Amino acid sequence: MKVTKAVIPAAGLGTRVLPASKSIPKEMLPIVDKPAIQYIVEEAVRAGITDILIITNRGKGALEDHFDYYPELEERLASSGKNDMLRSVRAPAQLANIYFIRQKQTLGLGHAIKSARSFVGNEPFAVLYGDDVIIGDNPAIGQLCAAYEEYGLGVVGMKEVTAEAITKYSSLAVSPLHDRIYSVTNMVEKPRPDEILSLFSILGRCVLPPEIFDILDHTAPGAGGEIQLTDAMKELAVTRGMTGVDFEGTRYDMGNKLGILQATCEVALRHPEVGDGFRAYLKELAKTL
């Protein structure tokens, strides 16, 4: 079955990027000239997703405004002939059918996904974590959707991380199938060193069958006292099996300060308008380091 719906959880408190995220949702922090969430929505659209639910929270109204029209601004740009700028201002509102719902209490990623149940209905759906931007020619979520269509099982996007980093993420039990595709039979969120199953970790993307909602209904709070999506996916992996895709593309963690700086630098270097100037500046700066 073709995946046409996506859910973007963006209701987290963003404590690792305070105070920047106090009144601006961290998903709205820019990478050069577009907010992080726009890269994520564009990735989903390039993968053939047509309907997107963004899960927000109190104080995240800027997300809704960004994907809406802004008539006064557009009229001003049109009347002064700034057509390129006008196109870029209108583009986010035209990307897909975008819906919003609020997670009324910040009880964890698994809890956030539960609020997508009526939007999703009885279909498989993609999940793109609102603070994980993945840049690449081949949209990462499209690679996962293809694996869903091939095996009919839930899919996680994964990458190998360091032994030090894995205790902050999740760890997967995997065996290779073909190319960058693996079978996933178990997983653990924020493993202690003696619980590490492999250095493959879920990073920012998955495709889930609707059965996940019944599992989430009985998923108890886990690491950090939050209802963890990984704990629900573990039940899926153990009982039915899941598929893992070691996706192509570079992932930037916009939920931490270093990730934001890395994304900004690398996207700026490739940017048609500022790329050359930024490269020259960086070369000069590097001489002083």
Residues 125-154 as x/- pattern, contact with ligand UTP by CB under 6 A = ----xxx-----------------------
Interface with ligand UTP, residue 43, by CB under 6 A: no
Binding region for ligand UTP (CB under 6 A) out of 8-16, 172-180, 188-196, 234-242: 8-16
Nearer to ligand UTP, 139 or 255 (CB): 255
Interface with ligand UTP, residue 222, by CB under 6 A: no
Nearer to ligand UTP, 87 or 168 (CB): 168
Count of residues interacting with ligand UTP (CB under 6 A): 20
Residues 79-118 as x/- pattern, contact with ligand UTP by CB under 6 A = ------------------------x--xxxx-xx------
Interface with ligand UTP, residue 11, by CB under 6 A: yes
List binders of ligand UTP among 259-288 (CB under 6 A). Answer: none
The least CB distance from residue 259 to ligand UTP, in Å, is 10
Amino acid, res. 201: S
- Tell me the residue number closest to ligand UTP, measured at CB: 12
The least CB distance from residue 189 to ligand UTP, in Å, is 11
Of the residues 5, 6, 7, 9, which one makes contact with ligand UTP according to CB under 6 A: 9
